[in-house]
Structure formats: structure tokens, C-alpha cells
Amino acid sequence: MKTIREYVEAGILASEDLKDALQLAMQLEFATIPPYLCAEWSVKNISHHARRTLHRVVIQEMRHFALAGNLLTAVGGTPSLAHPGFLPVYPADELPGGIPQQLPVELKPLVKEQIAVFMQIEHPDFPPVGRLLAQPPTIGAFYDSIKETFRMNPPKIDPNAHAVKVPSARPIRTVADAIETIDRIKIEGEGVPDSPSAPTGESTSHAHYYLFKELYVQRRLIKVDGEWSYSGESITLPEVHHFEPSTAEPDLSLEFRRVLTRLLIDLESCWTSGTDVNDAAMSTMFELQGAGEVLIERGIRPEFTWIQPPD
């Protein structure tokens, strides 16, 4: 599979490259979920603002992952999740597709240093934050190449392709639907030019980078005299559970890994056989959360690694 830089430099992608890029988009969206989940589960007070913020971001990342899968099936591709190579290895010095990370992406509690990592992952391409021109291609630039391909070299769309239902998201039956889907993924992650806002069909909120920076500077982002400023209500960072990889035998994270493997198999079946996600995966997601929270409360890091299921 090509790197994100190669997809960005190509600009308009050929049919098979588009499918490969959308498979990579699924891996990229998924790679952010384990660090965010571990940070969320580490917060002791389930009602704390920071935990609710992480939960909102995780839900949106899960939806972006699902939307990338829907885009892939819409253009005739088949999502591939149920194998060891789909899962990232932590700590990671780069995100899938070769996006370098100066701060390693690890599975850690919600402490200030980890929030800085999350801001790095979600850093926008444009003002009010923006990037230096010399920076390597970003997730946003990658999605721009995918969007431009749909616009300039429209693939054939299968309106009856298997898809996961995503709240407030239009089914992908036309090229216009595909472009709208890509825009949603980008806006919820990065905001819109000159604004941290990320309007969606459900509510209006800040994009992920700005939600994380609120936690980092411990102030709400508000508009003052027409300018955005981190001068709103004070935010206190929560008390968290600290955890480390288990060195015990047998592996205390074994059941968590079994549930994760089953979840990936169930999710893949949603796109390969049309299984309803509520039937296939929702209960498994809650089971994974429960197993992960128990581990973290015991000071043990959940291991997001594949375990070969029994025949």
C-alpha cells in the first residue's frame, strides 16, 4: 500500500488506488481510537468534562471509521479488518500511511503530556491554527486527494453496497453523497477555515484539535470581541487511573484481546455480508469497554492486539 504522501502527490487517484486509499483511511481512523479510549477509561469520574469530551471524540472517530468503510464499499471495494495487520502497534512514531509523529502515539492515561499527543494527531491544515508549508502531508490533505478524485474522476457508485448506518449521515448513493461524507469527516476533525467550529447535523461543537486544546490549557474556547480565545470557564484536569503493560503470566489482557478480535470480525461482516451493526457489533463494543475499564482500574494496560480465534 502506498504512503499518504504518495496519495497526496498523485492528486487524482486511479480506481484501485482510490480503494487502497479508503482502506488506509479506515486504518488511520481506527489508529486514533485505542489511545483515545484508554485516556477516556482512565478518568475516574465518569461525569467529568474531560471524560465526556473524550467520549464525544471517540464516537466521532468510530463514525469516521464507518464512513470510510461505506465509501470503500460504495466504489466496489471490500474492507479488510479481521487480521493482525490491521491493528497498529503502540508506541507509534508514525500513523498509518507514514504520517510522522514527533511525540510517539502511545496508550496512556489522560495526563497533560497525552493531551499534547492528541493535539498533534488532530492538528488542522488551516487557520486559526494552520501549519508550516514544510510540514509533511496531513490527514486533511489525504482526504482532500480522495475528495478531488471523486470530483474530477468520479468512480462508479454502487447504491446498494453494504454499509453501516451512521446517525445523520446520508447513504452513499451518488458521487455528491461521497463528497459530503468526506467533508463531514474533515470538518469534525479539523473544523472549518478560520474557525474551530465543526457543525454537524446533530449539534455544533468545536473540532477535535480545539476540544483537546481546551483540556490542555484548561480553559474553554470562547469568542471575545469577534476573536476566538481560550479565556472561558476554567477546566480542571481529572483524577486518573495509571496503568502499565502487564508482565504477568498468563496475559491478564487475554480476554480483552479476544473481545477485540471478535469485534473486528463482526465489524468486517457488516460490510462483507450486510450484517446489521446493531446485531453484529454493538454488544461486543460494550463488552470491550467493560473489559478495558476493569483492566485500567487494576493498573493494567489493555492490549489492542489480534489473537487468533479458534477454528
Domain positions in the chain are 4-244
Q: What is the pLDDT of residue 253?
A: 87
Check residues 279 and 95 and name the one with the higher pLDDT. Answer: 95
d(CA 8, CA 107): 29
131: closest CA among 142, 147, 120, 115?
Answer: 120
Q: What is the pLDDT of residue 133?
A: 42
For residue 122, the SS3 value is: coil
Of 89-93, 95-99, 125-129, the one with minimum mean pLDDT is 125-129
Q: What is the pLDDT of residue 98?
A: 93
**The CATH fold of domain 4-244:** Ferritin (1.20.1260)
Per-residue CA distances from 161 to 23, 38, 130, 155, 170 (Å): 16, 33, 37, 14, 14
Q: What is the pLDDT of residue 195?
A: 57
Question: What does the pLDDT look like over 33-75, one tens digit per residue?
Answer: 999 999 999 999 999 999 999 999 999 999 999 999 999 999 9
Q: pLDDT confidence of 309, banded at 50, 70, 90?
A: confident
For residue 226, the SS3 value is: coil
Check residues 137 and 240 and name the one with the higher pLDDT. Answer: 240
264: closest CA among 281, 239, 245?
Answer: 281
Q: What is the pLDDT of residue 199?
A: 42
d(CA 54, CA 60): 10
Cell of 166: 451512521
- What average pLDDT is seen over the chain? 89
Q: What is the pLDDT of residue 197?
A: 55
d(CA 44, CA 78): 39
Q: pLDDT confidence of 220, banded at 50, 70, 90?
A: very high
Q: pLDDT confidence of 132, banded at 50, 70, 90?
A: very low
d(CA 286, CA 38): 14
Q: What is the pLDDT of residue 73?
A: 97
φ, ψ of residue 48 to 5 degrees: the values are -65, 145
Residue 124 confidence (pLDDT) above 60: yes
Rg (CA), the chain: 19
Question: What does the pLDDT look like over 265-291, one tens digit per residue?
Answer: 999 999 999 888 777 788 899 999 999
Contact 38, 302 (CB under 8 A): yes
DSSP state of 190: H
Mean pLDDT, range 135-150, rounded to an integer: 85
Residue 249 confidence (pLDDT) above 90: no
Phi-psi region of 76 (alpha: psi -120 to 50; beta: other; left: phi over 0): left
Write b or e for each residue in 284-308: b if 16 or more Cβ atoms lie within 10 A of its Cβ, otherwise e: beebbeebbbebbeeebbbbbbbbe
- Taking residue 60's Cβ as centre, other Cβ atoms within 10 Å add up to 23
Residue 134 confidence (pLDDT) above 50: no
Specify which residues 228 forms β-bridges with: 223
Contact 209, 124 (CB under 8 A): yes
d(CA 218, CA 234): 6
Strands (E), 18-107: 92-95, 99-105
Q: pLDDT confidence of 129, banded at 50, 70, 90?
A: low
Question: What does the pLDDT look like over 162-208, one tens digit per residue?
Answer: 999 998 888 999 999 999 999 988 888 766 555 565 444 344 578 88
